A and B are shown apart, each in its own frame.
Chain A
């Protein structure tokens, strides 16, 4: 089963290595991984898509929590939003093809961000499922390159991934 795990970490050298090496040595499968800074200086946030049963995910969370520089871990099983961004370079040689591609691009609310004589780059945002649909749709015209960011996620509402306050009710 696919799980989306968000991890709040201290922005230290090698923290990403600690996480990926943990996944490697414990045999957890990463489908995608995205990292970025947060609005709080010194804190970064990682979104990991993990494949595994509930017991595996429980271990993933617990083992991640054991890393000293990991501040908080959440498995987005609660209501959340999920997005991924992809850049897709497609062959755009004939006029007919261009028109057809334009239709697909509009349907997926993607947009052209670079147009050349023989190819164009499109940007698409959405769930990984939507991105896969977009790429499949373009396949017949010749997909030349794909770069996906990996899924990022956030819980809805008041569920906030932030450092535990000291002496918070246990």
Chain B
């Protein structure tokens, strides 16, 4: 610990000391007027590495990527007013996808709070609905307790973001408190152990089921080992949501696929025909259920396992609710599970799978599908994947067979375009020796493209794989299918930058891949390059993502190819 003159510590140093005691090794952030004391304290301090992003939103998503891929709590710094407000999208994203973050923001001095001071914003007010909890520090000696509580709240129960707003004068103030403090959270007692009777009921119901499915979501990644045991004992078909990709390896023969709007036909029909749904760590998002009235009409038993009691019964009524930690409950279920007789059910699912394979690349133009497939083949799926939001995200979700838990890092609930590149920064920081691929879209990438500079500055060898179709592609697809091709404000091509040269301008390798013939060599060139690469894949402009269930529809309404191709 570095002490100031006279052996005393100020609030800023106390913050860093408390963070270090929480085991924090990396912080993502941007300095500014109201958090300068923290950065000043960091200047001479060792033990914590700070990653400077070019925008606070980038810092927030980087911390998310760091947290999702590693399971550790991500930490973000931003200054008051605009700095803190730039975190808002990242905090909301983390709230929706249950990502453990601690954001520490500078605030104007206590005497200036409420006076519309320079760079003042009511950050605790603004972030109230998009954080799991937030704090405004009023007393410098509360810092250790508040930071301890923040990490507990962020990382336990249903994880989520916690924001701590620290007035600048508090950062300067002399600290005379103790770091040996107990958290004071009388109202916070998450349930981690599922009720044994409910688990017995679930096991009994499983035994009776003829057409059961196990649905796993983003809350199930740490349950991976227990889930494997459970599925291999029972033989149950597995459906992995977008956020659950990799919780059970997509290459496992029992994984039927992803459900929902862009899920596979077999996965959707399996849910539709199931008589029992065992849902672990998911919240039945509307992109999964579609029209609720028609969702899973044949289901007789819904076993819903979640650590957040408020998610149980919120959307789909659960006949056997189990509040608890996914890993704990999955382990108990695995221990009590017995082999199920599912030959008929599997025959049906295999028939659906055979009759409805995922679309494959066709035609002369370079397909997004084959780009994803080429990288999967070349790497054997051994990589962390991040994505932006849009068509490329769905192509990646469907064709990248995620093999590892926490291996597919994407913005699910909030659907934040621009998420992929900054998230890849955090993933690469958390996993320096691993390959990180960011599948991105031209629309998405440009929302946070400044973070290419962060890749360069820290020499993070992320491969940015830009599926460039010159459109806001998902919106175009909707306009194509539902608005009679009235392509309102979705054209990007004419005004897109030359992405390879843009990458070069940032100081990293840029590659253009214009056709199928160039693809194999380009894949090798990209993967062999030791540093960061941006590869601009000029893919088919009007390729659609299929299957698709139109908004408000159900599995019966699934479209497996473009209607014009069907004729």
27 inter-chain pairs at a CB distance below 8 angstroms, sorted by A residue, are A10-B187, A14-B125, A14-B128, A17-B125, A21-B128, A21-B129, A22-B129, A58-B313, A59-B313, A62-B309, A62-B314, A65-B309, A65-B310, A66-B310, A67-B133, A67-B187, A68-B185, A68-B188, A69-B187, A70-B187, A71-B186, A71-B187, A72-B187, A163-B186, A163-B187, A164-B189, A170-B191
> Which of A14, A62, A66 is in CB contact (< 8 Å) with B124?
A14
Interface of chain B residues 123 through 165 with chain A (CB within 8 A): 124-125, 128-129, 132-133, 136, 153
Most buried by B among A17, A62, A67: A62
Cα distance A164–B188 in the bound complex, in angstroms: 10
| Alpha-carbon distance between A170 and B194 when the two chains are bound, in angstroms | 11
Most A CB atoms within 10 A — which of B133, B186, B187, B189?
B187
A63 touching B185, Cβ below 8 Å: no
Tell me which of A18, A21, A59, A72 contacts B314 (CB under 8 A). Answer: A59
Contacts of B308 in A (CB 8 A): 66
A68 touches B189 (CB 8 A): no
* Chain A residues whose CB sits within 8 angstroms of the CB of B185 once the complex forms: 68
Measured CB to CB, the closest approach of chain A to B501, in angstroms, equals 45
Give A163 to B313 CA distance when docked, in angstroms: 26
Docked pose: A9 CA to B188 CA in angstroms: 11
User: Is A68's CB under 8 angstroms from B153's CB?
Assistant: yes
A17 to B127, CA, bound (A): 12
Does residue A116 face the partner (Cβ distance < 8 Å to B)? no
Taken together as a complex, chains A and B put the C-alpha atoms of A21 and B125 apart, in Å, by 10
A114 to B185, CA, bound (A): 46
Chain A residues positioned under 8 Å from B310 (CB to CB): 59, 62-63, 65-66
Chain B positions 151-183 with a Cβ under 8 Å from a chain A Cβ = 153
Q: Mark A30-71, 1 if CB is under 8 A from B, else 0.
A: 000000000000000000000000010011001101111111
- For B309, list chain A residues within 8 Å (CB): 62, 65
Q: Give Cα A79–Cα B467 distance, bound, in whole angstroms.
A: 63
Asked whether, in the complex, the Cβ of B188 is within 8 Å of the Cβ of A25, the reply is no
Q: How many residues belonging to A are interface residues under a CB distance threshold of 8 Å?
A: 25
Name A18's contact: one of B128, B153, B188, B189 (CB within 8 Å).
B128
Set of chain A residues within 8 Å of B132, measured between Cβ atoms? 68
Nearest 10 A-B pairs (CB), nearest first?
A62-B310, A71-B187, A68-B133, A70-B187, A163-B186, A68-B188, A62-B309, A71-B186, A25-B129, A63-B310
Q: Name A56-108 residues within 8 Å CB distance of B.
A: 58-59, 62-63, 65-72
CA separation between A14 and B313, bound complex, in Å?
A: 29
In the complex, residue of chain B having the shortest beta-carbon distance to the beta carbon of A68:
B133
Q: How far is the CA of A9 from the CA of B125 in the complex (A)?
A: 19
Specify which chain B residues have a CB less than 8 angstroms from the CB of A69 in the assembled complex.
187
Chain A residue, CB-CB nearest to B149: A68
CA of A22 to CA of B310, assembled, Å: 13
A67 contacts across to B, CB distance below 8 A: 133, 187
Chain B residues with Cβ under 8 A from A65's Cβ? Answer: 309-310
Chain A minimum-CB-distance residue to B160: A66
Restricting to B96-138, which residues have a CB under 8 Å from any CB of A? 124-125, 128-129, 132-133, 136
Q: Does A13 contact B (CB under 8 A)?
A: yes
Tell me which of B128, B136, B186, B309 has the highest count of chain A C-beta atoms within 10 A of its own C-beta: B186
- A60 CA / B153 CA spacing, docked (Å): 21
When distances are taken between beta carbons in the complex, the residues of chain B under 8 Å from A10 are: 186-187
Shortest Cβ distance from B118 into chain A, in angstroms? 23
Query: Given that A55-B313, A58-B313, A63-B310 are contacting pairs, would A68 and B187 also be in contact in the complex, using a CB cutoff of 8 Å?
Result: yes
B109 nearest CB across to chain A (Å):
17
Contacts of A63 in B (CB 8 A): 310
For A22, the chain B residues whose CB sits under 8 A away are: 129
In the complex, how many angstroms separate the beta carbon of B120 from the nearest chain A beta carbon? 17
Give the complex CA separation of A62 and B308 in angstroms. Answer: 9
- Cα–Cα, bound, A70→B310 (Å): 14
The residue of chain B having its C-beta at the shortest distance from the C-beta of A18 within the complex is B128
Task: Choose among A9, A66, A70, A163 the residue with the greatest number of B CB atoms under 10 Å from its CB.
Answer: A66
Q: How far is the CA of A78 from the CA of B543 in the complex (A)?
A: 59
Q: How far, in Å, is B157 (CB) from chain A's closest CB?
A: 9
In the complex, besides A21-B128, A68-B133, 5 extra interface pairs with C-beta distance below 8 angstroms are A21-B129, A63-B310, A67-B133, A68-B132, A68-B188
Q: Smallest Cβ distance from B4 to chain A, in angstroms?
A: 30
- Contacts of B124 on A, CB cut-off 8 Å? 14
Residue pair B128, A17 in contact (C-beta under 8 Å): yes
Residues in B with CB closer than 8 Å to A59 are: 310, 313-314
Contact residues in A for B188 (Cβ distance below 8 Å): 68
Q: Whose C-beta in chain A lies nearest to the C-beta of B132?
A: A68
Of B133, B310, B314, most buried by chain A (CB within 10 Å of CB) is B310
